[in-house]
Copies of this chain bind each other. A is one copy, B any other.
Amino acid sequence: MAKNVPEVVARRLPRYYRYLGEQLEQGVTKISSRALSEKMRVTASQIRQDLNCFGGFGQQGYGYNVYELHEKIGEILGLNDCYRIIVIGAGNVGRAVANYAGFRRRGFVIEALFDNDPNLIGGRINGIPILDASEIGAYCRENSPQIAAIAVPGHAAEAVVEELEESGILGIWNFSHADLNCGIPVETVHMSDSLMNLSYRIKNNEQ
């Protein structure tokens, strides 16, 4: 599979995946690129192009089998593997991530938080234990979580990430403002950028 897949294409897959999941729940068994495109407000061409980066999942004259396509995209996204997540930082952002259970059902599990505040260590958030930040490395080598969510201030993030990378973490889910560069995939969620963009659009909507 996989000719060189443009990033924009990969970013659209989760949306397709979610939508196909919904259709599946509603008992829809087949869908054409046209029907899909109308619901998703993109062109049918784009959907066919996107999917063909990964292989021909459809059948001419028929369309796509919803179940099969959903499965395939899930596989491409790596959702069959169960990912275990640790959260670095048990402040506001860490709490937010630990509380946000929306992604649990897709096989992502948060198994521990880390902080260096003695008042927090030993406690729990949403049932998840808060451990001592000095033990991140040891913990990772022992338990091999795949993903680390970074919820510490930007200036502290760099050092943490370096340690995590050495300890065998496979990917970073970054909630700090730091532009992390390291050898493993980093996915950054910029909540404040998102809010600033909304602010911009509100302002430029109302003149």
Alpha-carbon separation in the docked complex, A155 to B41 (Å): 19
Given contacts A200-B78, A203-B81, contact A100 B191 (CB under 8 A): yes
Residue A28 CB within 8 A of the other chain: no
State the number of copies, please. 2
A92 in contact with B103 (CB, 8 Å): no
A108 in contact with B195 (CB, 8 Å): yes
**Set of chain B residues within 8 Å of A147, measured between Cβ atoms:** 198, 202
B198 in contact with A13 (CB, 8 Å): no
Residue A156 CB within 8 A of the other chain: no
Residue A29 CB within 8 A of the other chain: no
Contact among B189, B193, B198 with A194 in the assembled complex (CB-CB below 8 Å): B189
A172-198 with Cβ < 8 A to chain B: 172-173, 177, 179, 184-185, 187, 189-198
Given contacts A95-B99, A100-B96, A202-B78, contact A187 B177 (CB under 8 A): no
4 shortest interchain CB distances as A-B pairs: A78-B203, A96-B96, A185-B201, A187-B198
A112-163 with Cβ < 8 A to chain B: 126, 146-147
